Structures are given as C-alpha cells and as structure tokens.
Amino acid sequence: MSRPRATLTPPPWLAHALRAQRVPVPWSAVTRGALAAGPLLSAALLTGRASLGVVAAVAAMLAGINDRPGSRRAAVGRIGGPALAGAVGLCAGTYAGQNCSAVVLTLLLTGLGLIAGCASAGGPVASAAGTQVLVAAAIGAGMPLPETGWQRGLAFLAGAGWLLLLRLALPTPGSLAGGDFRFDGERVAVARVYDAVGDLLDAAGTAQAGARRAALTAALDQAQDALAGPRLRRCASSAAERRLHAQYAAALPLAEAATALAWAGESAGPRASVGPRRLAAAVRDRAHTRPLPAPDRSVPALRALDDALLHAAEAFDRGYSGRALHRRRRTVRQTLTAAFGRGGREYGMRVALCFGAGSAAAQALHHARWYGSHPHWYWLPVTAVFLVKPDLGPLVSRVLCRAAGTVLGALVFAGLAALLPRPEGLVAVVAVCGALLPAATRHFAAQTAVATVLVLALVMVGGEPQASAGRIGETLLACVIVLVVGHLPMPARRGGGVRHLLAAAASAAYAHLGHVLAGSEDRAARWTLRREAYRSLAEARTAIALAAAELPPVARHTEGADAVAGLLERLVDTTTACAVHLDDTGRLTSVHLRRLHEVLGRLDRMRERVGLPDPGVPRPERLEVGSPSPCRPSSGPGGPWPSPAQKAPRWAARSPIRSHTGA
C-alpha cells in the first residue's frame, strides 16, 4: 500500500513573493507607455534641455504606474492627483536640498514622510499621491540639476500631463467595443455587473455561490469607480451618460435579489440568468434588450428578481435624469480619522522612519564618497519609499521582489550600456521600457526590473555615469532598513490598519442592518448602505490577506480578523435576504431570525478578540416569527415598487415571457 507523497507548501510570505497576477496584457497602456517617456526625452534632447527631459520622463513613468484599467474619468483623478502631489514634492525637495544642511534636510524629509504616510491611509489615490510626493522630494533633493525648483515642477507636470492626455485622447478596446469613444471602461463595467448577476444566479445552491457573490461585489465596485469622477464632454454625452447611470442603478435590485437567492441555498432555475445576460448584451452593444424571460415566482426572492427585471427593462427604455451612484461621499472628518487614526499613525510612523533613515544613510554615503564624484543620492530613499508601501504586498514579499528585480535590472542595463550608442540607444531603451512597464505590473519583481532599467537609462542620458553596482548596494541597504523598521515595536498596536478597515466594514454592515430593521421605505438609501458594506468588506479582506502573508511575528497581530470579516459578510447577506423577504411579505420567518441571531451572537463573541468597538445597533429580538415588521413596501425614493396586495393579481396573470424592447 503506497503512502501519499508529502507536498512541500511554501509559507505564505514566500508564496506571495512567487505568485504573479493572471491578468490580460493591457495593450492600450502598452501603447501609451511607448509614446510617453521615450518621445518626451527625444524632444528634450533635440531642444538641448536633457535634464528637464529626464524629469518629464520620470513623471511619465510614475504616471504610467498609476495608469490602471478603468474609465477615462477615473484616470483623471488616479493620474492627475498624484502628479500634482509629485510636482509639489519635487519643488519642495529641490529648494530644501539647495538651502538646508544635511541634518535639517533629513528632519524635513522625515516630517514629510510622516504626513505623506498618514495621508496614504485615505484611499488608493491618496496612497499614490503620498508615494509620489516622497519620491519626487527625494529626487529633488538628491539629484541636483541646473534648473530651479519651479522649472522642474513644471517639467514634472508636463510629463505626467502628456501621459494623461494620451489616456484621454487615444481610443481603447473599451471604447471601440462599445462603439462610442466618449465611454471607455464605463459601458463594459456596467455590462460586467449584469453578467456577474447571471453568474451568481447560475451558482445559487452550489458551492460556488460565495465566490460568485464576491465577484459581483467586485464588478459593482469597478462600475462605481468607472462612472465616478469628472464628466468628459459634458454637453455631448449627458443623455447617453444618464442612460448608463440608469442601467447601473437598475442592476442594484437585481444584485439584491440574486444575493437573497444565493443565501437561501436553493437553485434559481435555468431561466433566471437569461434576463441579466440579455441586459448585459444590451448595455455592451447599445442594443434592444430583447424579450426577457420571467423566472418562477414561487418564493419572495424570485418574485423580487422578476420585479427587478421589469424595473430594469423600464429603466433601459426611459433612462432618468439623476446621476446617483448609491455611493456616499466621505466627509472631511472621516478622511481625517482614516489618515490620523490608529492605522494611519502606525503607517505614517513607519514611512517616516524608513524615509528619514534612507535619506540620512544616503547623505552619509555621499559625504563618504560612496557615489564617487557624482552628487546623486536619491536612489536609497526612493527605494525605501516603494518598499514600505503595503499596497504592493507583504513586507518580506516586497523586499525579496525589489532586491531580485533591482539586481536583474541593473545587470541587464550594464550590458545594454556597454553595447548601445549614446544617447540614441538609451532613448530607445527608455521607449521600450515605457511600453513594458504596464505589462510588468503582473509581478512586483518584473515591474522593479523594468523600472530599474528605465531609470538608469534616463539618468545616464542626464549625465550620471553608469552605476549599476552602486544601485544594487543601495537597494540592498534600503531592504535592510525597511525590514528592521517594519518589525520595530511601535507605540500603537500592530495591525491598526487592518483593524481600522475591519471596524469601518463592521460599522457599514450594522448600519445596513439597522436600516432594514428600522422599517425605512427608502430603498435607494438601503442600496447605498448595502454597497458601502460590501465595498468596505472587500477592502478589509484585501488588507487581511496581505497581513496574513507577513512573517509570523507580524501576522499574529491580525489573527481572527479573517473570521470576523467572514461573519460580517454573512451578516450583510442575511440582512439582504431579510430586506427582500420583508418587501414581499412584511414579516420575517423563523429561518431569517435564527440566522440573524446566530451571526450576531458569533460576532459579539469574536468582536473583542480583534479589538472592534460595540456597534450599538438595534437587535431583532423584538421581531417574533410571523409578526408584522415595521418595514412596508411602498413607492419610495428607490423606484415605483408596488405593495404585495397590488402585486398579487399581476403575479397570477403574468405570462412566462415578457417582451421589453427598450434600448
């Protein structure tokens, strides 16, 4: 009898470093990358302003890192906001480097690191802005150039603005697929929501339902992001834009009904997913919806799905004048709490220590002639900034990938620099690396290798000698600094960022539950609260997964957080099912009450383990089995939804196939 072979499973921190993202090649971003840094550098060389061309090309490279898939309107903030922060940081670093001593400069950069690190906790755009302001400040202080600070700041804005202009002007597969240049990722993102609803309906009653529900949440998040942001071509696109917003809003009750069906654990039937898929095709192709088959109306969730399909078909016909995305804006107080709360302070202190220690070590090496006769010492603090970023993965994974990528990139550039003519060959290297950078985002080591070759080629065009060996040494020193600082004990409790996100998710989940139990007739508000709960949970899940892949001494501080996130997801799912059932019957069943009591009880027992505050939400004990709920269906702000008494005759008389031919 043969024994099963034992498989060697790498620890989480090593498995994360070896894992690459499986995403398609973003050919549009590859094209923009090829047209960004290389042409900018060529234009600067032709006009005799090589140093300004280097600054503009570096800005285009950093903007290319933020050039992620999505709509044009989302790209304005995602690229433009960090570019403005980088220009300010470059000006400040230049003037500080010219007028301050080494000690004062180190203190100033450390303070800037604290502020930027705290602000990075405010969200993805704030995190990118915090990174760029520190990187640009280090370049301004550690790469002396003949131009003044404001000239370098303008060149930085010009470089990032050129890539943003390419992003706004060039067509993409999203705009070509939709047949409308005005919309890039918006139409595709909304269509994916309907496809995700269909996938969830197909998976209802199977083991894949949980993963499909998570995919639906991700699709809704992406559609929200795609539709948010400034309008482009306001007058020309207003009618089509309102229709697209209406199509997105019509997907929310469908998503709610599909979640309730998945929660019940019963199959929705083969016809249930046909309607959402036809709606997805109508969004994608700007075509008619075609006849929508009515699902079986035997249970409240199926009746809610049928009504949502009817509502969606009517919305596709008419559109509406509003632009509500069912997304609450973050207040100034919430932003400040996120930035300077426990999680923001912990991250800010680590960023400040890494950036300050990197700057001090770089200046000490500079005065010790480590760099030879060239006064550029920016590499070490810039590397420390990228290494300390939790957005890029767990700490050890970042360090391993950064070290491997830098060594590979430096060796490749050393060979290219010995073979290629100057400056023409180096300009070609910049253009090729600019094109490869978007495709290399699949893995941090590959991205680091491409960025290393690109930056070394840029600064060599600007007059810096070939220094691959020195850059490898500085990178390894930055890795040591970040590893030490990343594991230092802090006054704040470890894992504050995870706990902050988990507390926000819990608050959103309990707010959704409180709204449903309070009997509010505002369905639009309910959908907003549900969206916020699922979105907050997705953010918390991402942070928890990254924290779990840290070294054991660090990962143990967030133990139990994943279980709490799972319970919160069950709470939101159960609340959604309760809301759908209350809309239909006006009362809860024993199954709904039992599951609510079970998940709330387990959350109460686990809440103190991870340090979550008491939510103080009303409990459903006052609702007994079969008792009327304060919730009553009505025609509230969420749309024209009839009461159960009004719906009964229509349910019995409706044909299995309804024909809705809205565009």
pLDDT digits (tens, 9 = 90+) for 184-216: 678 888 999 999 999 999 999 888 999 999 999
* 9 in any annotated domain: no
Same domain flag for 466 and 515: no
pLDDT interval class at 235 (50, 70, 90): very low
Last residue of a domain, one of 318, 353, 375: 318
Same domain flag for 369 and 308: no
Same domain flag for 478 and 513: no
* 324 in any annotated domain: no
Same domain flag for 138 and 205: no
Pairwise CA distance, residues 172 & 67, whole Å: 13
> What tokens appear for 654 in the block?
């409706």
Crossing angle of helices 523-548/209-227, nearest 10°? 110
> What tokens appear for 384 in the block?
């420390």
> What tokens appear for 283 in the block?
């969004």
| Residue 342 clears pLDDT 80, i.e. is over it | no
Same domain flag for 438 and 503: no
Q: What is the pLDDT of residue 648?
A: 35
* 663 in any annotated domain: no
Minimal CA–CA distance to 379: which of 461, 459, 279?
Answer: 459
What CATH number is given to the structural domain containing 628?
1.20.120
Pairwise CA distance, residues 250 & 194, whole Å: 10
For 580, the domain range is 497-654
Q: Are 114 and 351 in contact (CB under 8 A)?
A: yes
| Single-letter amino acid, residue 412 | V
> What tokens appear for 517 in the block?
């139990």
Compute the C-alpha angle 93/95/101, nearest 5°.
Answer: 85
Same domain flag for 116 and 190: no
> What tokens appear for 650 in the block?
């229509």
| Residue 234 clears pLDDT 50, i.e. is over it | no
Last residue of a domain, one of 435, 464, 486: 486
Domain count, the chain: 3
Pairwise CA distance, residues 427 & 433, whole Å: 10
Query: Is the previous residue joined to 423 through a cis bond, with omega within 30 degrees of 0?
Result: yes
Minimal CA–CA distance to 348: which of 110, 130, 118, 111?
Answer: 118
Considering only 240-254, 320-334, 478-492, 507-521, which range has the smallest mean pLDDT? 320-334
Pairwise CA distance, residues 305 & 310, whole Å: 9
Q: Could you tell me the pTM of the whole model?
A: 0.84
pLDDT interval class at 491 (50, 70, 90): low
Could you tell me where the DSSP H helices lie in 66-148? 72-99, 102-119, 124-142
Pairwise CA distance, residues 53 & 41, whole Å: 5
| Residue 546 clears pLDDT 90, i.e. is over it | no
User: Number of helices and strands (H, E) in the chain?
Assistant: 27, 2
Could you tell me where the DSSP H helices lie in 375-495? 379-387, 395-419, 424-439, 444-461, 468-486
Most confident of 369-383, 512-526, 623-637, 645-659: 512-526
* 359 in any annotated domain: yes
Rg (CA), the chain: 27
Same domain flag for 69 and 166: yes
* 256 in any annotated domain: yes
Same domain flag for 298 and 166: no
Considering only 75-79, 489-493, 525-529, 540-544, which range has the smallest mean pLDDT? 489-493
Please tell me whether residue 660 adopts helix, strand or coil conformation.
coil
Same domain flag for 469 and 507: no
Same domain flag for 313 and 395: no
* 155 in any annotated domain: yes
Q: Are 137 and 109 in contact (CB under 8 A)?
A: yes
Same domain flag for 208 and 285: yes
pLDDT interval class at 251 (50, 70, 90): very high
Percent of the chain with pLDDT over 90: 36
| Residue 182 clears pLDDT 80, i.e. is over it | no
Average pLDDT over residues 459-481: 85
H or E, element range at 279: helix 274-285
Same domain flag for 400 and 503: no
Last residue of a domain, one of 258, 288, 318: 318
Q: How far is CA 392 from CA 92, 110, 398, 538, 622, in A?
A: 26, 22, 7, 17, 47
| Residue 640 clears pLDDT 60, i.e. is over it | no
Percent of the chain with pLDDT over 70: 83
